[in-house]
Amino acid sequence: MNIILLGPPGAGKGTLSNKILENKNAVQISTGDLFRYNLSNKTPLGLKAKEYMDKGELVPDQVTIDLLWDKFDSLETKENDEKIILFDGFPRTISQGQALDDGMKERNQKIDMVIYFDVSDEILIQRLTGRRTCPECGATYHLVNNPPKKEGICDKCGSELIQRVDDSIETVKNRIEVYNNQTSVLIDYYSKKGILKSIDGTKKPDEVYKEFENKLGEIN
Ligand code: AP5
């Protein structure tokens, strides 16, 4: 089953992904994580992506689409069809959405559901500027909403937490603007296809997960 998590930066896509991965037979494809992984390994792709990410701009479509299919096809060879494949942060433009439709057709697959997170800009800014992440295991925290047990240290693996470069206030504001200008059109795109399900992203993470399970029940 192929599910897209669609929403503005800080809406909780990564947080919900982690809960689904803990509780279900699922795998996540996060284009943001793939770019960051490339960057930490200093690959040409990672260094090119950094130019855009640090400013809160989108990485060019073709680079992102190629990366997506590389990852997707590597999963397909190993995973069986029972798995939920989560598209976290992809697509982000109409052109990426169309490339996803075409590529799915070529592979005799389809997108089964798009989960759209509804969250106000004010909450997004508060969440992103307070976010801290673990560079080792990917766990996400928030200084106020979800602090680690020991300040600055990951509960799960003991590594030192960091603040993402693109979580500064100026870059966050630009990311939200980029989302409004280039990504939010996908809400209508998937709504017209009849596969869009909205969830209230302002609820607590466990409640958001419950809503996700309800939506999943509706299509099973
Ligand atoms: P990416 O890494 O995908 O970032 P994003 O979409 O901006 O999303 P975030 O990871 O910031 O937010 P999230 O929704 O996952 O929220 P989270 O769960 O962490 O992309 C980064 C960059 O890469 C882009 O700007 C672009 O340059 C590039 N890129 C990536 N994909 C691309 C593509 N397809 N095309 C082109 N370029 C691309 O939560 C945020 C915070 O809120 C955390 O602190 C968390 O603890 C807290 N929180 C989460 N849920 C809740 C809740 N329910 N209640 C209270 N707090 C919560």
* Domains contained in the chain, number: 1
Query: How confident is the model at residue 170, as a pLDDT?
Result: 96
Any atom of ligand 1 within 6 Å of the Cβ of 28: no
**Mean per-residue pLDDT, 137-156:** 93
Give, in order, the Cα–Cα distances in Å from 181 to each of 19, 88, 125, 129, 185: 29, 19, 17, 21, 8
φ, ψ for residue 32, nearest 5 deg:
-60, -45
DSSP 180: I
Give the torsion sign (CA, 119, 46, 53, 95). negative
Contacting residues for 37 by C-beta, under 8 A, at least 6 apart = 46
Let me know if 131 is a catalytic residue: yes
Q: What is the 58 CA–ligand 1 centroid distance (Å)?
A: 13
Domain-located, residue 10: yes
Q: How far apart are CA 113 and CA 145, in angstroms?
A: 29
Query: How confident is the model at residue 81, as a pLDDT?
Result: 62
Domain-located, residue 61: yes
Any atom of ligand 1 within 6 Å of the Cβ of 32: yes
Is the pLDDT at 80 greater than 80, yes or no?
no
**Which residue's CA is minimally distant from atom 57 of ligand 1?**
12
**Mean per-residue pLDDT, 37-41:** 93
Domain-located, residue 138: no
* Residue 11, domain CATH: 3.40.50.300
**Mean per-residue pLDDT, 44-70:** 96
